[in-house]
């Protein structure tokens, strides 16, 4: 699920870092597979009876910022910049 989707039907799901969720295909039988995509990368299919557990990682990531521009301001400028539109 994208964090900042451009489509109204694709909404992000925010969960507390102290919670853990399990994702499993339904029905849970051996004949059913589910496609798995994480951050745009496709993983092996999830088969009936298998599950994915999602929880907070113990690893910390440091982020580098090159300017102070807000992500949403940058996105708005890219989407609505009149010089980028076709004439």
pLDDT in tens, 8-36: 666 667 788 899 999 887 765 667 778 87
Give the span between the Cα atoms of 18 and 56, in whole angstroms: 7
DSSP 27-59: S-STT-EEEEEETTEEEEEEETT--EEE---S-
pTM (global) more than 0.75: no
84/9: higher pLDDT: 9
pLDDT tier for residue 1 given thresholds of 50, 70 and 90: very low
For the chain, helix (H) and strand (E) counts, in that order, are 1, 4
């Amino acid at each position: 699920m994208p964090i900042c989707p451009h489509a109204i039907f694709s909404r992000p799901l925010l969960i507390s870092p102290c919670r853990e969720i399990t994702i499993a295909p339904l029905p849970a039988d051996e004949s059913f597979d589910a496609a798995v995509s994480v951050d745009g990368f496709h993983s092996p299919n999830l088969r009936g009876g298998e599950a994915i557990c999602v929880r907070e990682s113990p690893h910390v990531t440091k982020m580098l910022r090159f300017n102070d521009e807000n992500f949403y301001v940058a996105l708005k400028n890219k989407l609505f910049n009149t010089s980028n539109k076709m004439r």
